[in-house]
Amino acid sequence: MEKLLDVKNMHVSFDTYGGEVQAVRGVNFSVNKGETLAIVGESGSGKSVTTKALMKLIPMPPGRIKEGEILFEGRDLAKLSEKEMQKIRGKDISMIFQDPMTSLNPTMKVGNQIAEGLIKHQKMSKSQAKARVKELLELVGIPDAENRMKQYPHQFSGGMRQRVVVAIALACNPKLLIADEPTTALDVTIQAQILELMKDIQKKTDAGIIFITHDLGVVANVADRVAVMYAGRIVEIGTVDDIFYNPKHPYTWGLLGSMPSLDAEDAELYAIPGSPPDLLNPPKGDAFAPRNEFAMQIDREQEPPLFKVSDSHYAATWLLHEHAPDIDPPEAIKKRMAAMASTGSGKGDRV
């Protein structure tokens, strides 16, 4: 597969009165054309900062890309000026934000908001843009598009507003689509429709997608690969089957164990003790060590590298060292893994 995006050793920091907050600390990942990479983790793990940094949407200052490369089709976005980035945002890379009401201008008609990108990036005339807006609204499943494009955001339901945001993101046929928890505020039915829409459009355009979510059920249905983030780092990355059926990092075990399942025999959920670290002063060694019941002395002294599990699967845990003790996931997690395997919740059963 052709590589679309390649992020190498990216560090993102925010300078505050209290000091430097190291929000993203040496992240590496790639996205191929036509591929969906899901980034998962608790709130504050660095998911949204990572993807906003790709588009240089973090406020600078106080935010800054401290180190690393963001290679998009071989071009390092980290070195581009704001004027150069404006030519890429919306055209080559688009983003669907979590809350459509903060993404849409309440004083502008929906049609005009979608047309903006078409006129700026595609150099369309107003009449051409109007015809394309109608096509886009129909594409995302909004009926009576001719009249709806003349209405304001408050005249749309939550699900319809999110469809409008998707239409804006797709207007210029981007090569990379970043979706930052795009279905969190929607009910299950509308959520499924939006996810189905994104996958359908991806098949038609061969776009790469980065999907940020905390919902592992969504991940199982949409992703090809999964990156698990904790304390500003990717602690495990692999295919959907790697992460769901053969997780290696204790943090990934905790995330899977906390996921409700109707098929698990034991209804009790696994709870990860403690809370994420303060990235103003990141802990020495493995940041997850204070919450890890399987932590060893080395976890408190040295940060683990990404150990290779297979050609597609890597995890940053000292448990994978050749001299580490052989430790299995907790029983609650094993039950959920067995339940997922029995119902085919992995890659083979995606929408």
Residue 313: predicted pLDDT = 96
How many residues are recorded in the chain? 351
The answer to whether the beta carbons of residues 234 and 243 sit under 8 Å apart is no
Burial of 72 per CB tally in 10 Å (0-12, 13-18, 19+): buried
Handedness of CA 64, 70, 72, 75 (dihedral sign): positive
Encode pLDDT of 90-102 as tens digits. 889 998 887 767 7
How far is 251 from 227, CA to CA, in rounded Å?
Answer: 12
Residues near 351 by Cβ (< 8 Å), separated by ≥ 6? 192, 195, 196, 199, 221, 222
Domain coordinates in residue numbering, the chain: 106-173, 240-349
pLDDT score at 263: 60
What b-and-e string marks burial along 256-285, b requiring 16 or more CB atoms within 10 Å of the CB?
bbbbebeebeeeeebebeeebbebeebbeb
* Separation between Cα atoms, residue 216 and residue 38, nearest integer Å: 9
Give pLDDT, residue 31.
95
Beta-carbon contacts of 154 under 8 Å, excluding residues fewer than 6 positions away, are 106
Q: What is the DSSP letter of 37?
A: E
- CA 139 to chain centroid, in Å, comes to 23
pLDDT band per the 50, 70, 90 thresholds, residue 85: very high
φ, ψ dihedrals at 201, nearest 5°: -65, -35
Whether the predicted pLDDT of 81 surpasses 70: yes
Predicted confidence band at 69 (pLDDT cuts at 50, 70, 90)?
very high
State the pLDDT confidence band at 351, using cuts at 50, 70 and 90.
very low
**Token pair recorded at residue 120:** 């700026």
Name the token pair of 205. 């355009």
**pLDDT at residue number 341:** 60
Mean pLDDT score of the chain, rounded to an integer? Answer: 87
Could you tell me if 180 and 207 are in contact, meaning their C-beta atoms sit under 8 angstroms apart?
no
Which runs of E-coded beta strand occur in 108-248?
A: 176-180, 208-213, 225-230, 233-239
CB 239 within 8 A of CB 226: yes
Structure-model confidence comparison of residues 271 and 21, the more confident one:
21
